[in-house]
Each structure stands twice: as structure tokens, then as C-alpha cells.
Amino acid sequence: MLIGHRRLFEGSLGRWTDYRAIIALAAPITGIQLAQVALTTVDLAMMGLLGIAALAAGGLALLLYNQLRTMCVGMVTGVGNMVAAAAGRGEKRTGTGEIDQEARGEIRGYVRAAGAVATVTAVAGAAMLIGLGYALSWLGQDPAVLEPARTIIWTLAPGLIPMLWLNVLRQFAVGMRRAGSLLRVTLLSIGVNALLDAVFIFGWLGVPKLGLAGIGLATTLVQVWTFGTYLRMVRRDAVLGELLSVRVWRADHSTVIQIVRMGTPISLTYGAEAAITSIATLMMGGFGPVALAASNIVNQLAYIVYQVNIGLSQGSSILVSRTVGQGEWRKVRAIARRTFTIAVAFMTVIGALYLLFPQTVLAPFLGENRDDVTVVAASSTLLWFAIIQQYCKGSQNLCIGMLRGIGNTKAGMQSTLIGYFAVGVPAMALFGYGLDWRGPGVWLGLCLGFGATAALVWRRFSRQSAALKDRDRETLLATA
């Protein structure tokens, strides 16, 4: 009996160690994601001080910015997996847990090439963001909303460049499992951003009152500061500093192409995900400023929760890449199972908070409008749909991340195109306008789009991970 209890204890301890490995890798990434989102969350809260019109206009601008920011980040997201896989192969060759010189050369090449890709992508993204600010006039948006939205877009756009450089360093650090230092930097940047927002909004220290444009300028300046600070920290790191190479002009052409080929499907997947949210927001804008403001608030809340799933997705993805690099394919499904357990537990707790304390959850985003009954009521209703959305959207992101970990970036893109645009967008139009369910109808269609995509990517991951397990079994039999 004692032996049985001992085995049970050791099994439980082993399982907890496996969960802890996922959490240890995902937690810094989640913290980084939350800190990045906190920048725009603080911006949105500050906009509430300027009134409903500013909240609607600024929220629309931030939505477009987040969409392009997400697509730009997608172009370099695969670099973390490439670095992790190279490190895994290097560790396997040495058999000592240290990476060999061949892997070190690979990693330096990936960082250089990623820097080149990031520069071109960010410049293109900034130009596109500015262009979208003017294209919105063709989509039936209220002119009173568009004009102030354009002012903040102009000051937000340049920030895409240092932001993407920062993400190259971030993927490099995450791939090497040393992302914690970036968390400290991004947490500090939240306070700096809030201070600069106030300076530019209220005209402190003799600075002109810039309104919404000042909020965008504050975010851009913080991105520059964060990148510079983190670059200095990476250079001083004993492990990362040795492998860092910022000579982007010496990037290997074939490596650049490799990153672009891996990053393009990821970027398009992220873009499709952001696009369906943007389409939903544009539809909500057709129901007036109150509906748009309520949607912006709840979308930002859902976006905050989503960052935890992004952290788990990227953490498990990096873990899968390193595991595959070491040739241990059988562990992939176990990593997926544990990651889903953690994610579902977290989302359940958050959903309960939404249901039990809706006004408390919404209060930070309402500003001076917290007594506006129409905005509070509209936002409270949409919270119910946010709960459904976080399960669907979170599940699909976890599957896409683990597919990326085993080298498949195209499956996520294909599934999102079907789920979002063949199911989600038509459903939003039908429920929101066709059946005249207005805002709730649009959000119901949004949930259906995410749900359909989640089912498709789970099916693809299930089949591919099963094939990897069979491959591992055949390898073991061959070497027996």
C-alpha cells in the first residue's frame, strides 16, 4: 500500500512539474502581453475623460492600430519557434543541455534576418494605418468621429517601428526561455505611458493640450523608450548578449525568405482575427456612439483576458518546438492537454467575475460616463457575449500556437478564413441587421465565427499531433 501511495505521489508530482513548466514559460509572456495591452487600456481609460465622442473616436483608432500591430507582430512571431527549435537541436547534439556552435550561428542569423523583416513590415504598417484613417469615410462612419480619430492615428503610426523591433528581441528572448527581463521593462512602461497621457491631455509642464493626438504621441514615445531600454538589457545578458546580432544589413537572404514564408500565414491569421473584430466594430458604429463606445469597452476587456491565452499559446508553442527539435514528438499531445486545462480554469474564473460584478469590471473604462445609464446597460449586456467569446477565441489561439510549434502555420490561416468570413461575418450581418438584434446580434455572430474556427483548428491539430505520436512510436520500435 505504501508503495502504491508513493507511486501516486510521484505521479502527481510529475504532473505538477509538467504544468509548472508550461506556466513558467507562459507567465512572463502573458505578463508582457498584458503590459503591452495596458498601454492601450490606459489610453482608452484616459479617453473616457474627454467624453463619449472622444472615447468612440479614440477607441476606433486604437482598434485599427491594434489590428495592424497584431499583423506586423505576426511576421516575426515564428522567430521564437525557429530559435527554440535550433536550441533544441543544439542541445540534442551536445547531450549536455548546452547548445553547440552550429545552433549559435543559426540563432544569430535568425535575429539579424528578423530585424530586417521587422523594419520593412513596420514602415508598411504605419503607411497602411494612416491610409485606413482616411478610407473609413467610405464605410459610413460618422464624420464627427473620423476627424478626431485621424489625429491620434497620425501620432500612433510611427510607434509601430520601435514596437516591432522590440518584438524581434522579445521572440529571441522567449525562444531562449529568458523573457522575464522584458516583463520588468514593460511593467514600468505602463506608468510612464499614464504620466505622458496626462501631460499631453491636461497640458502639464507647459506642454500644449493635444487631446487625442497627445495620447497617441505618448504611446509612441513609450514604445521608443521601451525598445531602447530592453535592447540595453539584452546586450548585458550573459546568454542573450552573446547571441544577439543587430546587423540587419548582413541578413542572409534565404533566412529572410524563411522568416517571411513562416510569418506571412501567421500575420494573415492574426489579421483575419483582428479584421473580424474590426468589422464588428464598424457594424456597431452604425448603431450610434453609445453602441460603439460600449463595444469598444467590452472588446478591450475581452482583449485583456485574451492576452493570457496568447501567453499560454506562445509558451506551449515554444515548448512544442523545443520538444520537436529534441525529437520527442510523443510529448506534444500532453503539452496541449495541460495547456487547455490551465486556460479553461482561468477563463471560468474571469467569466464568473463578469457575471457577479459587471459594474465593477466596467467602471475603469467609463470615466465620467459611469452614470450614463445607456452606456452601462449596453456594456453589461455585451459582457455575456464576451464570456462566450473568450472560450471560443482562446481555444482557437491555443491550437494555432501548438500547430505553429510543430511547424504548421498555414492550417491556422485556412481555418480562420473559413470560420471568420464564411461563418462569422455573415452571421453578424444576419443577426445584427437582418433580424435587427443590433449590438447583441453582432456579438453573437462574432462568437459563432470564433467558435467555428476553434472547431476547425482543433480538428487539424488533433490529426497532426496523432500522426507525430505514431511517428515517435515507429522510431522507438525501429531502434528497439
Give the pLDDT band (50/70/90) at residue 233.
confident
Pull the grid cell for residue 173. 528572448
Break the chain into its structural domains and give their ranges. 2-479
pLDDT digits (tens, 9 = 90+) for 303-329: 878 888 888 888 888 888 888 777 777
Q: Compare 463 and 330 and report the one with higher pLDDT.
A: 463
Q: DSSP assignment, residue 158?
A: G
Which whole-number Å values give the CA distances from 230 to 31, 121, 223, 376, in the listed order? 15, 21, 11, 39
Please say if the pLDDT value at position 342 is more than 60: yes
Give the pLDDT band (50/70/90) at residue 451.
very high
Q: Tell me, what's the pLDDT at 180? A: 62
Q: DSSP assignment, residue 211?
A: T
pLDDT digits (tens, 9 = 90+) for 261-300: 988 988 888 888 878 887 888 888 888 878 888 888 888 7
CB 444 within 8 A of CB 385: yes
pLDDT digits (tens, 9 = 90+) for 111-150: 999 999 999 999 999 999 888 878 776 765 666 667 777 8
b/e map of 236-266 (b: 16 or more CB within 10 Å)?
A: eeeebeebbbeebeebeeebbebbbebbbbb
Q: DSSP assignment, residue 367?
A: G
pLDDT digits (tens, 9 = 90+) for 164-178: 998 899 889 888 877
Mean pLDDT of 32-58: 75
- Pick the range with the lowest mean pLDDT from 297-311, 366-380, 391-405: 366-380
Mean pLDDT of 250-256: 90
Which whole-number Å values give the CA distances from 83 to 25, 211, 358, 423, in the listed order? 15, 42, 42, 36
pLDDT digits (tens, 9 = 90+) for 164-218: 998 899 889 888 877 666 667 777 888 888 888 888 888 887 778 887 888 888 8
Mean pLDDT of 326-355: 85
Q: Is the pTM of this model over 0.85?
A: no
Q: Tell me, what's the pLDDT at 478? A: 41
State the chain's mean pLDDT as an integer: 82
Q: Compare 473 and 226 and report the one with higher pLDDT.
A: 226
CB 159 within 8 A of CB 66: no
Give the pLDDT band (50/70/90) at residue 50.
confident
